[in-house]
Structure 1
Amino acid sequence: MLGAIIGDIVGSRFERNNIKTKEFDFLTCRCSITDDSIMSLAVAKAILDSDGDYNKLGDLAVKCMQEVGRPYPDCGYGGMFIRWMYADQPQPYNSFGNGAAMRVSACGFAASTIEEAKRLSKKVTEVSHNHPEGIKGAEATTVAIFLAKTGKNILEIRDYINDHYYPMNFTLDGIRDSYEFNGTCQGTVPQAIMSFLESTCFEDAIRNAISIGGDSDTLAAISGGIAEAYYGIPANIRKQAFRYLDERLMKILVDFENKYPPLFENQVAETLVEQECRLLFF
């Protein structure tokens, strides 16, 4: 889940100041967390608080998003969502905004089956973003994370997304010049997933997402969550990212990672070596 937060942090300074290159300083003093990180952690807390009883996950998602999110009113919430977050009895508002997809990474890491991944995603999404495209964007993101963490290769992940969610028939180079800011799931999630599919490592996935412009923090958050599940996060980047979280948010992250241990980059390398050995000797 930290991968989504890192993507958000790195992309934060480019959301309204797009660049069309992968060459930029990665984590700087101009970066910050935004609503993407805060809502990702809120969903993580809801999953933890459910303690395996996912029948109550929807209610807990509402509770946690309001409790975790309200202390940060200026972090970049959309107009409709901020009204939802401060409402006494918040109701879904038929949204297909990309906020549905940027907050669900914890679902992919917590799920034990692909069916459960889809169920968790729907539970935490439909409480606000109940439009079919909002449900779809969140599910595609969650499923991509689940497939990545369970050992599927990039081609297998691409084929699953292509067959069940969005056509993956474009390249980043092909859209970079014309791609513009888009706040919808259908205009963000495929591009974010492709940023991962064309990547060579965790950091490269985030650089890919930012390099096409658009809603940079959300693109990078979605891509970063998938990239973490596939590659792991380099230790130096993890350490730098912690500086952007206050004590309250850090506790949620630590609690979540204690229950769902993260994959570190060296573990990925060891796994790949083991796979290669099996191919060679068995």
Structure 2
Amino acid sequence: MAMVEAVEMMAGRFRGCMVGALMGDCLGAPFEGEPRATRSILQSYFRRLSDPDLKVPYKQYTDDTAMTRCVAQSLIEKKGFDAKDMARRFVKEYYAEPKRGYGSNVTDVFAALRATKFRDPYSPAAFQFNGRGSYGNGAAMRVAPVALFCYATKAGLVDTSRDTALITHANRLGYNGAVLQCLAIYEALHTPTNKLDSVKFIESLITKMKEIEKPSEDDILYEGEDPYVYVKRLEKVLELMERGDSVSREQVEDELGVYISAHMSVPTAIYSFIRATSPVADIESENEYQRTLHFAISLGGDTDTIASMAGSIAGAYYGVTKIPGNLQKHCEASSDAIKQADDLFSLSDPKPPAS
């Protein structure tokens, strides 16, 4: 019975990851690009959505979730990574529903992919920005399904997360941001419940990123380019953690960033997850998952993406039972997120993390 319960708990973590990402996107989207929301506005926002009697239209998902769904469905149907299939899904999804908030740079990639009939799914992104590629967070925001798919096969996690990113983000910062986000979800999935050591969690990511960011003989760095950007930003996360609850939102923005570039949002999402594992002075919720979203959104900037990335990590750690049902019901397509999580779980080796 203990093993059955452990397997069910892990299935709940898969659901938590996918639902968690969706909710961060849906609930964070109304605040994207707006001035940092005041404490009272966000408290009222979450209090109102938590009302079981509230009946309002679904909060729609954005391109973050639209592309996450494509990644998941491609992995599920192909039972592995298929670059052309995933690229086709991105393009078809965009042209079917182009008003989900896509950035102009990625839509240029989609147009080129369609025009070339997906002959080389990596070329359009590689030619962007005079061959430098995009360093946006668009690859990191959609990578959660890769962490689930690779749950039992960590050997393929780095390569698969990088390859999914390269379809749209050919810059080192863009694809390494996706790798870091995927690793953070993976670590959360494999951390036994209530046994998270936040410092060791970040130190483990630093160790992995030191190896990942180490330039290979094929990497051509530009003059003055630092190859270890994510290592240094994770070290900054450790510094902020040492300062505890005294760190203000303004300091998080200044020292980590809240922007659409991957290196100024992925570490911020990870920090949001860590910060919310303990009570936050000006957030009234005692629910750790809700606190994660609340804190991530309160930082301002790219609220939907940062909250989505933080939500996927938190969901993977806490599981779907920690995600308030009264919040879930307000998010578009939550049942689809659960279905994809279950399909990904069925493809994995459903063993619980070692205690």
TM-score, with length taken from structure 2: 0.66
Q: Is it true that 1:109 corresponds to 2:134 in the alignment?
A: no
2:305 corresponds in structure 1 to 218
Q: Is it true that 1:37 corresponds to 2:61 in the alignment?
A: no
Matches within 5 A, 1:3-18: 3-17=20-34, 18=36
2:134 corresponds in structure 1 to 95
1:174 corresponds in structure 2 to 247
1:126 corresponds in structure 2 to 166
1:161 corresponds in structure 2 to 205
Counterparts in 2 of 1:255 and 1:244: CA distance versus 1, 3 Å: same
Q: Is it true that 1:19 corresponds to 2:37 in the alignment?
A: yes
Counterparts in 2 of 1:84 and 1:242: CA distance versus 1, 3 Å: farther
How far residue 203 of structure 1 moved from its aligned partner, in angstroms, is: 1.3
CA contact (8 A) 1:114 1:143 kept: no
How far residue 51 of structure 1 moved from its aligned partner, in angstroms, is: 1.4
Q: Distance in 2 between matches of 1:43 and 1:238?
A: 25
Give the counterpart letter for 1:127 in structure 2. I
CA contact (8 A) 1:37 1:103 kept: yes
How far residue 208 of structure 1 moved from its aligned partner, in angstroms, is: 1.5
Q: Distance in 2 between matches of 1:205 and 1:71?
A: 32
CA contact (8 A) 1:101 1:134 kept: yes
Q: Is it true that 1:228 corresponds to 2:310 in the alignment?
A: no
Q: Is it true that 1:65 corresponds to 2:90 in the alignment?
A: yes
Gaps of 5+ in 2: 1-17, 50-55, 210-229, 278-287, 347-351
1:74 corresponds in structure 2 to 99
CA contact (8 A) 2:57 2:330 kept: no
Greater shift, 177-186 or 106-115, is seen at: 177-186
Q: CA RMSD in A?
A: 2.8
2:340 corresponds in structure 1 to 256
SS in 2 for 1:234: helix
Q: Distance in 1 between matches of 2:262 and 2:330?
A: 29
CA contact (8 A) 2:20 2:323 kept: no
SS in 1 for 2:97: coil
Q: Across the two proteins, how many residue pairs are aligned to each other? A: 260
Q: Distance in 2 between matches of 1:215 and 1:51?
A: 32
SS in 1 for 2:324: helix
How far residue 236 of structure 1 moved from its aligned partner, in angstroms, is: 6.5
Counterparts in 2 of 1:40 and 1:133: CA distance versus 1, 3 Å: same
Determine which of 286, 291, 308 is the counterpart of 1:204: 291
Query: For residues 64-87 of structure 1, what are the alpha-carbon distances to aligned partners after superposition, in whole Å with 9 as ceiling and x for unaligned?
Result: 111223222111111111222233
Query: For residues 27-64 of structure 1, what are the alpha-carbon distances to aligned partners after superposition, in whole Å with 9 as ceiling and x for unaligned?
Result: 47583211111111111111112213x3xx22222011
Query: For residues 97-132 of structure 1, what are the alpha-carbon distances to aligned partners after superposition, in whole Å with 9 as ceiling and x for unaligned?
Result: 011210101111111233322122112101110100
TM-score, with length taken from structure 1: 0.82
Counterparts in 2 of 1:243 and 1:210: CA distance versus 1, 3 Å: closer
- Structure having the higher Rg: 2
Counterparts in 2 of 1:213 and 1:173: CA distance versus 1, 3 Å: farther
How far residue 207 of structure 1 moved from its aligned partner, in angstroms, is: 1.2
Q: Which has the higher contact order (CA 8 A, sep 6+)?
A: 2
Give the counterpart letter for 2:79 in structure 1. D
CA contact (8 A) 2:258 2:306 kept: no
Counterparts in 2 of 1:76 and 1:231: CA distance versus 1, 3 Å: same
Q: Distance in 1 between matches of 2:168 and 2:317?
A: 29
How far residue 24 of structure 1 moved from its aligned partner, in angstroms, is: 4.2
